[in-house]
């Protein structure tokens, strides 16, 4: 394929993606939505183009809500107004805006809310629950977590919006199980793995089978995509993926939350407090930075923060001072 042919093909994909975005905004029928979903899933380039066009549309909405004070001379050359004054952007304008917005939006989720049936499941702070999918797969959701589920004809797509989940995947080679979580793109056929979104990275723990890992939706389907086998893990950040070997203790710690347990084995006091705070309305606060690196251990129920703090006070020169709002301040004992 020549460079000209490739450019024409990209233009054709962009044109079709922009047309689909417009159609969805105007009210597509269920059959049209399914056809659009099939087109998006057929080629990773389609998904990227659709994400760009959707971002351009949303940027246009923001501009229409807050128009600039000075209008460019030819700003309306490719736009028309329908009944009620709603601006309708032509495909050419939409494509141009989409290209400009692509750098910031190419990693976005591809319009699940508009295309096909998407189920949202979530847990409140301190809550855990299990969701059984139509294919028999199960999603274990930890505290304050949320997932979007889209069961398609040729794929099972999950987006971990926030928090942590363990996935038990029913074997179905014809429908790969795909999970998006932060910067991570994960693919499994029949396996079990835990995914946790932390502040700056995504933490993967594989307990059964094999999981392919990538940062790009297209790369996760490649035969040479990095793979993490049972007993291993990975840390995925922006632009980097680091496999990690996990011993039996670490594997047990990372999945102990399913039993409502926090296991500590030499973690710092700061790390331990972070774990307990995931289940508390009012946080525990390490008020003295000198205490943060104290090493602690033990096995506690997720709602046994007071028992944990009693153990800390008995083992170290630390005082746990309760506040009126329910939070607890940890300071050095004088």
pLDDT digits (tens, 9 = 90+) for 301-324: 999 999 999 999 999 999 999 999
Residues 193 and 230 sit within 8 Å (Cβ to Cβ): no
CATH of domain 260-332: 3.55.50.30
Q: Give the per-residue pLDDT at 56.
A: 74
* Core vs surface per residue 273-299: b (16+ CB within 10 A) or e: bbbbbbbbeebbebeeeebeebebebe
Q: Give the per-residue pLDDT at 128.
A: 96
Domain with CATH 3.55.50.30 in the chain: 260-332
pLDDT digits (tens, 9 = 90+) for 167-184: 999 999 888 899 999 888
Q: Which residue has the tokens 């750098």?
A: 103
CATH of domain 119-250: 2.60.120.1440
Q: Evaluate if residue 83 carries a pLDDT over 70.
A: no
Q: Evaluate if residue 113 carries a pLDDT over 60.
A: no
**Mean per-residue pLDDT, 51-77:** 55
As given in the structure block, the two tokens for residue 215 are: 């940062």
- Per mean pLDDT, which range of 22-26, 81-85, 328-332 is the poorest? 81-85
Q: What percent of the chain is predicted at pLDDT more than 70?
A: 80
8 vs 189 pLDDT, higher one: 8
CA-to-CA dists, residue 246 to 71, 231, 256, 261, 268, angstroms = 59, 6, 15, 19, 19
Q: Give the per-residue pLDDT at 61.
A: 55
Element at 179 (helix H, strand E)? strand 177-181
* Core vs surface per residue 226-237: b (16+ CB within 10 A) or e: ebbebebbbbbe
pTM value is 0.69
Bridge partners of 119, per DSSP, are 149
Q: Give the per-residue pLDDT at 160.
A: 93
Domain with CATH 2.60.120.1440 in the chain: 119-250
**Mean per-residue pLDDT, 73-91:** 39
- Highest mean pLDDT pick, 25-29, 49-53, 253-257: 253-257
Q: Rounded distance, CA 12 to CA 95, Å?
A: 10
């Amino acid at each position: 394929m020549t460079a000209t042919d490739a450019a024409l093909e990209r233009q054709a994909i962009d044109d079709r993606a922009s047309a689909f975005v417009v159609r969805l905004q105007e009210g597509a029928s269920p059959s049209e939505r399914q056809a659009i979903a099939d087109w998006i899933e057929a080629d990773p380039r389609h998904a990227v183009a659709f994400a760009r066009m959707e971002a351009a549309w949303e940027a246009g909405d923001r501009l229409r809500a807050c128009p600039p004070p000075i209008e460019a001379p030819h700003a309306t050359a490719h736009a028309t107004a329908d009944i009620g004054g709603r601006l309708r952007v032509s495909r050419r304008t939409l494509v141009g805006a989409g290209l400009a917005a692509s750098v910031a939006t190419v990693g976005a989720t591809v319009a699940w809310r508009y295309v096909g049936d998407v189920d949202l499941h979530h847990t409140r702070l301190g809550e855990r629950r299990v969701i059984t999918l139509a294919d028999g797969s199960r999603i274990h959701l930890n505290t304050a977590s949320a997932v979007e589920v889209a069961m398609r004809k040729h794929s099972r797509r999950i987006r971990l919006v926030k928090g942590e989940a363990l996935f038990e995947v029913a074997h179905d080679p014809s429908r790969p199980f795909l999970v998006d979580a932060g910067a991570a793109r994960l693919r499994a056929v029949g396996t079990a793995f835990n995914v946790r979104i932390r502040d700056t990275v995504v933490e993967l723990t594989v307990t059964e089978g094999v999981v392919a890992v990538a940062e790009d939706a297209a790369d996760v389907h490649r035969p040479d995509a990095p793979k993490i086998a049972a007993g291993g893990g990975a840390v995925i950040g922006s632009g980097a993926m680091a496999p990690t070997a996990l011993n039996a203790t670490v594997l047990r710690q990372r999945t102990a939350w399913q039993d409502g347990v926090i296991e500590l084995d030499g973690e710092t006091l700061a790390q331990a407090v972070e774990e307990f705070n995931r289940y508390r309305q009012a946080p525990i606060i390490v008020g003295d930075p000198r205490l943060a690196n104290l090493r602690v251990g033990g096995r506690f129920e997720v709602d046994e923060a007071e028992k944990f703090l009693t153990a800390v006070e008995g083992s170290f020169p630390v005082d746990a001072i309760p506040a009126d709002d329910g939070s607890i301040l940890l300071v050095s004992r004088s």
